[in-house]
Structure 1
């Protein structure tokens, strides 16, 4: 309950000093949770009790969601974070998304920890220099690259050993157990890859590995924005981005969309380039610029171009949540439809480019599919009546407050038996079901509810609440008839996103 209650506390009106204290409690609790989970995972790997899944998942969603998860941490340090997944890869692959996400998350967390200036980039590409490992398998390279402090050659051999850090000063300055990379190494090896590092002191680091993954079923490989992507072909834009690594990756993304990017690193250069084009009797189709740049920032660049080019060159501004809060009130009325949140996601980029160029934004099917991923979960849910089956009083209070703050009506059951009785007695839109409860656990309660539905019809959406430390519950939850699951400690964003996805599937 510590993490959840601290989240609720941070959502209330606090003084600056109180906010700092609460954020420190939250950060410390998160750190402790990660340490505990690392130790438990390491123990399972050592005991040979960790099994891998083999299911379909989307590489792009995994990479972009990971970047978005770390966005607040990165942007608070004035760092850029970006995920790039090559378009020549299958949209859906088969493997263990949970463990792949765990490795990437650990590598990104480390990269952010040891980077004070610049960027952290996730790159997933086809490993063309590696022979295909078998019929139908695709060698896929996963990289996490940073501009951090770097690692000396002689120290790199110790990186992947258990409970080892480079020296005591790193532990004092950056924290951690030294277990994370050891777990990553073993997980990658379980997936038949090899985790490697390339680094020099002061030059940043690149951690990478190659996995052989099978493509998903053919029907999953159709990209929902194909028509809009085709309409972007041949467009020319100015791309103004400060960080060299992000500038290069964004240019590569645009190139894959067949959009030519003329790259610059600040607003003055972008303005000069547009002026040169005008004098030559030509014009760019648009400008993509960061809102925050030294000298002529993105907002001022947009204003200058509006005057000089008579509004002929549309401008899209890439901005963080902090930039948006600070600046949109001043400038956003004229440019609201061309604001592009960081970290950049491909579908958001395509949508904004299409609007800039005056193109139709997808077919009905494209828009329908995109709307699922565009929703922010908690903000797209209508008021619901929700049954929370949970025996722990602290967790009960946490769930009730979290849900009620978003306008939902909540009923509480102390165990599975009470949950089944409440289901028979009242009408609910959704059930949040804890797994481990006295008298009747969540599995048994869900089984009874599904049996009752066979007699009376209907399907009640049920989301399991389970501890992250107990792996293998996902399959058990789905087999028991649950629709999805959320790991404890419950994070508000994850919970509401899961609720939105489950209800979206229910609506079909």
Structure 2
């Protein structure tokens, strides 16, 4: 069976039963056992929990108030990992089922035992236990490898985001100050191409962890109409290049503010619209969104998204083929997709992670239609816990002389942020890392702190914790994360560190100024 002796512990109140079992084991050919015996249930529990034997042979009946099944269940819950074989006084289907449910590796009627039956059971439970250990080790190794991969992706994403953010931000400023029509056009085109590049980077960062398990959502309040307007502006150049009209229709009754995973919705719609625009058989492309309040959940709204020919949307076409039925991942029905199969696979994974299902319908000469549904909470007019801690939000004009502290290590990002603040007449002090930022904060009373997360010497998370400790729960200065960190959970990590809000880079001028007004008043 194995190269070393197998250590066995027999747990039974009957000493004669111990002798009988020992004799049966001695009759097993080509096997060596080291056998111990105890009738002390407390001692047996200690041996079980600390896995001091290779196999435990436990009697189902251990006295009037003792039960081997309960002992097994209790010890497995407390850390026993080595196999347990329960010994029944007689074969009983109900006891057998209870024993297996308790975690026993096998159940054997005492009176039917033979050397062969006993040896076979011991051998099988050891092999099964080792197989389970190997599977657990393999899973832990895979999870560890995936964790390293995710950390590498996070680092790579940050390194790519930094220069891309600077480029896009500078293009925004160039677009704003340029009076030359041709230069204005060039800046616009470059900005739009950079925006698509940023979306492609987001695809890899968002979807990479999904095949290894469903990832948690990052719900927050968002404006669906604003999201769609941003998508329309992003994809308008591609639509013009393809000569395909792009139509957007949102049902009027859709709530103004929803709570859900905004980044995933944005990425899914970008991928599907991009796929539809690249389909040579589509003569026009539209996005139609309509919704309904769920009768059983009045606080939730279910939205139906349709991407494809807008005429077919208005005809209320039935969608019948799921992404699996369409054979996605093996072969697409047409070569006209021009390599966008990956985008559909990513969309499928993201929608599946949102407990939805992507449907595809393709008819010759009519283009491809995509459809999926998702549920969102309806945002109620209430403050978040962090807002309640800060008290009422500012209204009216921003106070004269309000001071802002920017903690950012990238010179280009410093230049862009300072310029945006200067355009609104807002003074700003700049710190190159978290340590300098904490030192500056202790010397001056600021109305707002803009905090990068990844910095040398001291990162933004640690700097925020130092600032919150320094405040001692008194006046709470708003701290807004302005960061290139783009993986799932980054926003939550910022809030957990003590920050009040989150802006992802590259910062859009409109969202940046909206954030300032949220904490400073109208600027």
| Counterpart residue number, 2:461 | 443
- Distance (Å, rounded) in 1 between the aligned partners of 2:216 and 2:201: 19
- Distance (Å, rounded) in 2 between the aligned partners of 1:381 and 1:162: 57
Q: TM-score, normalised by structure 1?
A: 0.55
Offset of residue 167 of structure 1 = 6.1
Matches within 5 A, 1:30-429: 30-48=195-213, 50-53=215-218, 55=219, 57=221, 61-72=222-233, 79-84=246-251, 86=253, 95-108=260-273, 110=275, 117=284, 119-126=286-293, 140-147=302-309, 161=328, 170-171=337-338, 178-200=341-363, 203=366, 206-211=369-374, 384-429=402-447
User: 1:426-455 CA deviation, whole Å, 9 max, x = no partner?
Assistant: 232211100011111111111111122227
Question: Which structure: larger Rg?
Answer: 2
Offset of residue 382 of structure 1 = 7.9
Contact 1:63 1:122 in 2 (8 A): no
Offset of residue 195 of structure 1 = 1.0
- Give the count of matched residue pairs: 336
Offset of residue 465 of structure 1 = 1.7
- Distance (Å, rounded) in 2 between the aligned partners of 1:32 and 1:164: 26
- Distance (Å, rounded) in 1 between the aligned partners of 2:331 and 2:411: 39
Cα gap change, 1:136 to 1:392, in 2 (>3 Å): same
| Counterpart residue number, 1:495 | 512
Contact 2:171 2:187 in 1 (8 A): yes
Contact 2:291 2:301 in 1 (8 A): no
Offset of residue 464 of structure 1 = 0.4
Tell me, what secondary structure is at the counterpart of 1:70? helix
Structure 1 unaligned runs (5+)? 221-368
Offset of residue 389 of structure 1 = 0.6
Cα gap change, 1:408 to 1:170, in 2 (>3 Å): farther
Cα gap change, 1:26 to 1:98, in 2 (>3 Å): closer
Cα gap change, 1:7 to 1:97, in 2 (>3 Å): closer
Offset of residue 159 of structure 1 = 7.9
Contact 1:415 1:441 in 2 (8 A): yes
Instruction: Pick from 439, 458, 463 the counterpart of residue 475 of structure 2.
Output: 458
Offset of residue 56 of structure 1 = 6.2
- Distance (Å, rounded) in 1 between the aligned partners of 2:509 and 2:458: 26
Cα RMSD between the aligned structures? 4.4
- Distance (Å, rounded) in 2 between the aligned partners of 1:213 and 1:67: 16
Contact 1:63 1:84 in 2 (8 A): no
- Distance (Å, rounded) in 2 between the aligned partners of 1:181 and 1:381: 49
The worse-fitting range, judged by mean Cα deviation, of 195-204 and 437-446 is 195-204
Offset of residue 142 of structure 1 = 1.9
User: 1:204-262 CA deviation, whole Å, 9 max, x = no partner?
Assistant: 65432234556777x86xxxxxxxxxxxxxxxxxxxxxxxxxxxxxxxxxxxxxxxxxx
- Distance (Å, rounded) in 2 between the aligned partners of 1:56 and 1:110: 27
- Distance (Å, rounded) in 2 between the aligned partners of 1:22 and 1:158: 44
- Distance (Å, rounded) in 1 between the aligned partners of 2:303 and 2:449: 40
Offset of residue 419 of structure 1 = 0.8
Offset of residue 118 of structure 1 = 7.1
- Distance (Å, rounded) in 2 between the aligned partners of 1:406 and 1:110: 40
Contact 1:160 1:181 in 2 (8 A): no
User: 1:140-192 CA deviation, whole Å, 9 max, x = no partner?
Assistant: 24213443799xx9998798856988766654xxxx85433222211211222
Contact 2:258 2:379 in 1 (8 A): yes
- Distance (Å, rounded) in 2 between the aligned partners of 1:30 and 1:188: 23
Q: TM-score, normalised by structure 2?
A: 0.54
- Distance (Å, rounded) in 2 between the aligned partners of 1:82 and 1:179: 26
Instruction: Pick from 181, 185, 202 the counterpart of residue 20 of structure 1.
Output: 185
Contact 1:155 1:166 in 2 (8 A): no
Offset of residue 105 of structure 1 = 4.3
- Distance (Å, rounded) in 2 between the aligned partners of 1:38 and 1:63: 20
Contact 2:450 2:481 in 1 (8 A): yes
Cα gap change, 1:83 to 1:184, in 2 (>3 Å): same
User: 1:285-326 CA deviation, whole Å, 9 max, x = no partner?
Assistant: xxxxxxxxxxxxxxxxxxxxxxxxxxxxxxxxxxxxxxxxxx
- Distance (Å, rounded) in 1 between the aligned partners of 2:203 and 2:325: 18
| Counterpart residue number, 1:434 | 452
Structure 2 unaligned runs (5+)? 1-165, 313-319, 383-391
